[in-house]
Structure 1
Amino acid sequence: MELKQADPKGLIRESYRIEGISEAECRSIFMDWALSLAPGTNTTEAMRTVLALYEAPADHPMSLILAEGLTRPAPGTQRRGGAAGRRL
């Protein structure tokens, strides 16, 4: 995937340039970034692309959030509890 596709507005790039940025601020930027991706874009591939191409420090809050996004199971793969879990 090309960087232009993976970070169309440069939000992730800018988050790495902000000194002293907090995890909460990075989560907000991450949400804006995810919403700015073109429909049908593979978000997992986009996260891998920005992590690799920006060569960001592993301890940066945005790197931690991106890594967390890569390790979490895809929506719908976890069991749902209650009445929703009993419906097919």
Structure 2
Amino acid sequence: MGKDRFDPKGLIAESYKIEGIGAPECRSIFLDWALSLGGDIDPKDALPTLISAYARSEPDHPMSAVLEQGLVQMQAPKRRGGWRARQRN
């Protein structure tokens, strides 16, 4: 599956073309990208393809860091239980 399928609006591709873009703008674009994905596309599947397509060739670009952080966050285990799990019976 190609990068075009995982970036149907071209948001990630366009972010790499914007001169002087910063991390806050990249995070905003990333959020818009994630919210605009179709229900049949899992961001966990899309991010490695987008990283290979864009971040590997431009590792110093702020969007590269955002993509890498997104992948790490999606793979990180989530805390389960909350205060109820810590209560003694």
Judge same fold: TM > 0.5, yes or no.
Answer: yes
Please classify the TM superposition score into its range, dividing by the shorter chain length: 0.7 to 0.9
Per-residue deviation, residues 5-40 of structure 1 (Å, max 9, x unmatched): 210000000000001101000000001101111103
Give unpaired runs (5+ residues) of structure 1: none
Task: Give the direction of change, closer, same or farther, for the CA distance of 1:38–1:58 in structure 2 (3 Å limit).
Answer: same
Q: Which has the higher contact order (CA 8 A, sep 6+)?
A: 1
CA contact (8 A) 1:51 1:63 kept: yes
Per-residue deviation, residues 42-83 of structure 1 (Å, max 9, x unmatched): 202211111112344112111001101111255872235335
Larger-Rg structure: 2
The match for 2:37 is 37
Task: Give the direction of change, closer, same or farther, for the CA distance of 1:11–1:73 in structure 2 (3 Å limit).
Answer: closer
The alignment's TM-score, normalised by the length of structure 1, stands at 0.80
Number of residue pairs aligned between Structure 1 and Structure 2 = 86
Pairing of 1:1-88 with structure 2 (within 5 A):
1-54=1-54, 55-74=56-75, 77-79=78-80, 81-82=82-83
Runs of 4+ in structure 1 over 3 Å off: 73-76, 79-86
Give unpaired runs (5+ residues) of structure 2: none
* CA–CA separation in structure 2 for the residues paired with 1:59 and 1:85: 43
